[in-house]
Amino acid sequence: MTGLAGTGGLVRLILRRDRVILPVWLGAIAVTVLQWVATAGTVYPTQASRQARFDEVAATPMFLLFQGQLFGTSLGAVLVQRAAPVAAMLAALGAALMTARHTRAEEQTGRRELLGATGVGRHAPLTAVLAVMFGCGVLITAVLAAVLSAAGFPPAGSLCFGLVIGCSLWLTAASTAVLAQLAQHARVAAIGGFALFYALHLLRGIGAMGGDAAAWLVWLTPTGWLENTRPFAGERWWIFALVTAAILLAGAGAYALSARRDLGAGLVPPRAGHGHAPASLRGPLGLVWRLGRAMLITWVVGAAAFGVIMGAVGSGAMGAYAGSPWVIDFARMINTDDVADALFTYIIGAMAIVVGMYGVMTTLRLRGEEAGGAAETILSGPVSRHRFVAAHLGFAAVAPVLILAALGAGLGLGSGLSGGDLAGELVRLLGHTLRYAPAIWVIIGVTAVAFGLVPRAATVIGWAGLAIGVTAEVAVKAYVLPEWVFRAVSPFSHVSPAYGSGAVDYLALTALAAVLIVATMITFRRRDLAV
């Protein structure tokens, strides 16, 4: 039997298991692009309006950091700058989750060992998921190229744009496959795969903000390579050769590592435990903390480090662009005369979405414990269902607050040291970050209720709840939807200074989250455990 025996059957199994998730994920990517296609001509109808957008992006470091550079004034180039970052992030997120789900998670649950006892080769599971991810990348590339061409955009630029999104998917799938060989837990591989892609995107943004002096940072990252393929602005097809080499190198690394480790184990061995369990592990809360502390500490340290860097350079960067019309308008919209607040508000709003992703993944650990059989084992002891759910949701609610506090403290420390008002900046920026906690709690509550009512659909509903809110904001800014729709479907609209917020909003969101958590406990108590 060869190492690839049974690959075809596993491909069919993946397609069968994810017959709902895959179309929803790929459809979300396509819709993200389509909504910009539908409104691009209305928002930027003239050459003058597109030139104004070009000048706006060049003069606003927030756009360069989070969105990307604009390389031309054609309608297609503007479309790429607005739509590509969000579409690429969605592609990377789905690729990380899917790759970890069908590699490391299969080993955690024991299904991989059962499959290995049949006519399935050692490398068949890895090959099967990478084949599915390759097919998804080809499909989304073809769909986006066809849709943009049908909408009147040049075919060459349309294909180049589609390849940028497809390559984002393939890069993340390959890097997550490597992490799945190193880590012992699927959650670490999934979060690490997406976090790596996002970190490289931010590193590219820092290089773009720094101008010619820091341009080498852009070329240091595969995300920077993809940005510089320049769809609709003089395509650079040769860059895709570099991206392809990176994908193949990561994929080859995953196979090499897979051949060197034991089934069910990661190449990075877990730390040896104590001979006796501490008293804290006698309850479910201590167990949840033990399982999640390493990832939480990583997020807290990462948020604090990112905050210090952005806080130190943020005020100076915005000071250089204080006269930009867009910066002035944005500062006026959030009711401040300090242009540095425009950058920090933009950064905090974007990072709050990322912290919301962490909240969803942490809440979905409930579903993982149930499906993996750990919940049944725990509940067979002197642990009630209420305590079991409360422990997981308590950790899921507190962890985002700690990450937001670390981000705010980092921003305050960096800004305070550079500006000379450390105490004032710490208090001010901590308030800016912590205001997003109630909105994240609502997203956690929605995910938890889905776990209580329809556990098998909890993953889809949890991610959809976050995605709908983000998509609605993008649609409102693109003038596709009225603002009231965004405020109706997204809790983030009620805590963002750009849309107005007050004590009533925070209390209402907190109360709603509490109601959703209580509903979760009631519904989970009344149903059978589901596999």
Instruction: List the chain domain ranges.
Output: 1-267
The span from the CA of 274 to the CA of 262, in Å, is 23
State the angle between helix axes of 21-43 and 124-150 in degrees (0 to 180), rounded to the nearest 10: 30
Say which residue, 419 or 356, is predicted with more confidence. 356
Q: Mean pLDDT, to the nearest integer, of 253-263?
A: 84
CB 312 within 8 A of CB 340: no
Mean predicted lDDT score pLDDT of the chain: 84
The span from the CA of 455 to the CA of 367, in Å, is 7
List the Cα angle 261/99/135 in 5-degree steps: 125
The span from the CA of 311 to the CA of 341, in Å, is 11
The C-alpha torsion from 484 through 488 and 493 to 499, rounded to 10°, is 20
How many of the other CB atoms lie within 10 Å of CB of 15?
13
For CA atoms 96, 101, 106, 109, the dihedral sign is positive
- Where residue 91 falls among pLDDT bands split at 50, 70, 90? very high
Q: What is the predicted pLDDT for the residue at 270?
A: 67
- DSSP code, position 267: S
Q: What is the predicted pLDDT for the residue at 505?
A: 83
Q: Mean pLDDT, to the nearest integer, of 457-471?
A: 83
Q: What is the predicted pLDDT for the residue at 446?
A: 93
pLDDT of 459 strictly over 80 = yes
Residue 487's nearest CA partner among 461, 504, 468 is: 468
pLDDT of 494 strictly over 80 = yes
- Give tens-digit pLDDT for 145-187: 999 999 889 999 999 999 999 999 999 999 999 998 888 778 7
How many residues belong to the chain? 531
- DSSP code, position 420: S
Scored b (16 or more CB within 10 A) or e, 246-260 reads: bbeebbeebbebbee
Q: What is the predicted pLDDT for the residue at 68?
A: 80
Helices (H) and strands (E) in the chain, counts: 24, 0
Q: What is the predicted pLDDT for the residue at 395?
A: 93
Residue where the block lists tokens 């809110």: 469
- DSSP code, position 269: P
User: Across 33-42, 68-77, 314-323, which has the greatest mean pLDDT?
Assistant: 68-77
The span from the CA of 28 to the CA of 87, in Å, is 8
How many of the other CB atoms lie within 10 Å of CB of 137?
24
- Where residue 315 falls among pLDDT bands split at 50, 70, 90? low
Q: What is the predicted pLDDT for the residue at 108?
A: 76
Tokens representing 239 are: 């860059």
Say if residue 490 is exposed, middle or buried (CB neighbours under 10 Å; 0-12, 13-18, 19+): buried
pTM of the model: 0.77
- Where residue 517 falls among pLDDT bands split at 50, 70, 90? very high
Residue type, 518: V
The span from the CA of 225 to the CA of 208, in Å, is 12
- Give tens-digit pLDDT for 195-241: 889 888 888 887 877 666 677 888 888 998 999 999 988 899 999 99
pLDDT of 1 strictly over 60 = no
What's the number of CA atoms in the CB half-sphere (13 Å) around residue 461?
18
pLDDT of 58 strictly over 60 = yes
CB 40 within 8 A of CB 79: yes
Q: What is the predicted pLDDT for the residue at 163?
A: 95
CB 388 within 8 A of CB 375: yes
Residue 194's nearest CA partner among 117, 95, 111, 287 is: 95
Q: What is the predicted pLDDT for the residue at 176?
A: 94
